[in-house]
Amino acid sequence: MFSAFRGKPAKTPPPQVEVVGFDGDTLELKSETPLANGPLTVILLNAEIELEKEAAVQIDQGFPEKQLYWASLPEGSDLGALLQPLIPKEAEIANAGGELPPSWEEKRSRVRLTRVLGAMSPQVAGFKCVTHDIHSEGMRLQVDQPLAEGSTIKIRFELEDHRLPAFDVQGLVKWCLPSPKKGHWAGILFTQITDQQKEQVDKFVEETLSYEGGVLTRDYVVS
């Protein structure tokens, strides 16, 4: 005989994800469980700082085949202080031959799109690199070898829109520092880009963020 009263199904625990990098803004996460873009409660793990904490994050972009995800922290989150030891130390940045990046207060608020786009540049070792984020005034590049701050760089990249031709622009390397995980990040300020190209980038960013539920975040390119 079956009882008319059945127990509630067990609540599924949040997925456990490993924090493999943090730059003060973007979390690099590794998860065997596929994570959907958007707000998500997870259990953050990191052996280096003995972290095991349930927390809310915003999954910005994922690479399920590699089990890697980029996420940001909700406004007002206290996780930044807990994760601060994972940010590259100032001494390490100085020893790498670069200057310290601008302080948090010096960075300007701007809508940017966190996106991996293939790019090419004759100033980059091996000629190939990828973007980490982009907007109409600049981008952050992921490169294997550091770029000299203040140097000029030519970049060719394509947006995820087959209707648009490749973008050939020129920029200024505003800063370059080690990535929390691999290689280096370089903040690029566009110095030669047409008004039409700016409009196309702005439209691409706005439409993609609108479709994927993006948010207003801090930018890494400083004028």
Alpha helices (H) in 36-194, listed in sequence order: 79-83, 90-95
Range from 8-17, 35-44, 82-91, 126-135 carrying the lowest mean pLDDT:
82-91
Percent of the chain with pLDDT over 90: 32
Residue type, 91: A
- pLDDT classification of 91: cutoffs 50, 70, 90: very low
Would you tell me how many other CB atoms lie within 10 Å of the CB of residue 22?
26
- Residue 89 CA: distances (Å) to CA of 53, 67, 69, 177: 23, 27, 23, 11
Considering only residues 30 and 110, tell me which one the structure prediction assigns the higher pLDDT: 30
Q: 85 vs 14, which has greater pLDDT?
A: 14
| pTM summary value | 0.49
pLDDT value of position 106: 34
What is the per-residue pLDDT for 42? 95
Q: What is the pLDDT of residues 146-197, one digit of tens each?
A: 999 999 999 999 998 888 889 999 999 988 988 877 889 899 999 999 999 9
In the predicted model, is pLDDT for residue 205 greater than 90?
no
pLDDT value at residue 2: 54
- pLDDT band at 90, cuts 50/70/90? very low
DSSP string, 202-213: HHHHHHHHHHHT
CATH topology assigned to domain 91-218: Thrombin, subunit H (2.40.10)
> What's the pLDDT at 93?
43
- Of residues 220 and 176, the one with the higher pLDDT is 176
CB half-sphere exposure, 148, CA atoms < 13 A: 5
Closest CA to 159 of 131, 127, 185, 126: 131
Residue 218 has pLDDT above 50, yes or no: no
CA dist 21 → 73, 82, 84, 213, 222 (Å): 13, 13, 10, 23, 22
Domain locations along the chain: 16-85, 91-218
Split at pLDDT 50, 70, 90, the class of 7 is low
Which amino acid belongs to residue 196?
Answer: Q
Give the residue from 65, 73, 69 showing the smallest Cα distance to 35. Answer: 69
Per-residue confidence (pLDDT) for residue 147, from 0 to 100: 94
What pLDDT score was predicted for residue 9?
A: 65
In terms of average pLDDT, the best of 54-63, 80-89, 143-152 is 143-152
Q: Per residue in 163-175, is it b (16+ CB within 10 Å) or e — as a string? A: eeeebebebbbbb
Q: Which residues of 59-88 are buried (b: 16+ CB within 10 A; e: fewer)?
A: bbbbeeeebbbbbbbeeeeebeebbeebbb
Listed in sequence order, the residues at least 6 apart from 163 whose beta carbon sits closer than 8 Å to its beta carbon are: none
- Residue type present at position 125: A
